Amino acid sequence: MSYGSSSRFTILTVCTGNICRSPAAERLFRSAFGTNGDVAVGSAGIGALVGEPIHGPMANLLRDIEVDTEDFAARMLTEDLVRNADLILGMTREHRAAVVELAPAAVKRTFTIREFARLAAEVDRDELEANAGPDPTPGSRLAALVPLAAQHRAAVEAELDDVVDPFRRRDKVYRQSFDQILPTARTIARIALNL
């Protein structure tokens, strides 16, 4: 099955500097899906600190659960990155809006990460499997999940959608941010992997 511009389903996570929240989500997804599957994951920032590694406190939280943090360099969000992504997950509503402003056609496949996890959990698993094709893969499940999850969109309070920005704040704020990202990434991966 073909997705976007490649043979792999592509997830793009987006935050501001691309050194804390979106790389944490990217690396959690990469850890869940592995390197040989049909899911590719990348991240970018709307005001990226281009070339920077994952910020120390967030990298430590990832390493604590044995998630690789090496060989990362922050990059700026571009229209091409959005156009080539099958699912775009912003860390806040502001990031979601910035993606859609950059590429309006991406609106139906752009969510906040917490929003998408919440909506994905509402999708009927039998319906998902039926829409994922005759021999479902994580990529085909994600491709089927995006429109099914979008059907459940509803207005909620911003704090249910947004991941707190920990940059240059205390370690406990990094922990709070990480604790918002980790379960959402796990929920999405578990559904895609049919676990």
Reference 70, options 40, 27, 13, 34; nearest CA is 27
Residue 27 annotated in active site: no
Structure tokens at 58: 């967030």
The catalytic position among 8, 21, 30, 114 is 21
What b/e string do you get for 39-53 counting C-beta neighbours within 10 Å, with b at 16 or more? bbbbbbbbebbeebe
Residue 21 annotated in active site: yes
Residue 15 annotated in active site: yes
Structure tokens at 19: 């050194």
- Residue 19 · residue 49 · CB < 8 Å: yes
The catalytic position among 8, 15, 86, 161 is 15
The catalytic position among 64, 71, 126, 135 is 135
- What residues act catalytically? 15, 21, 135
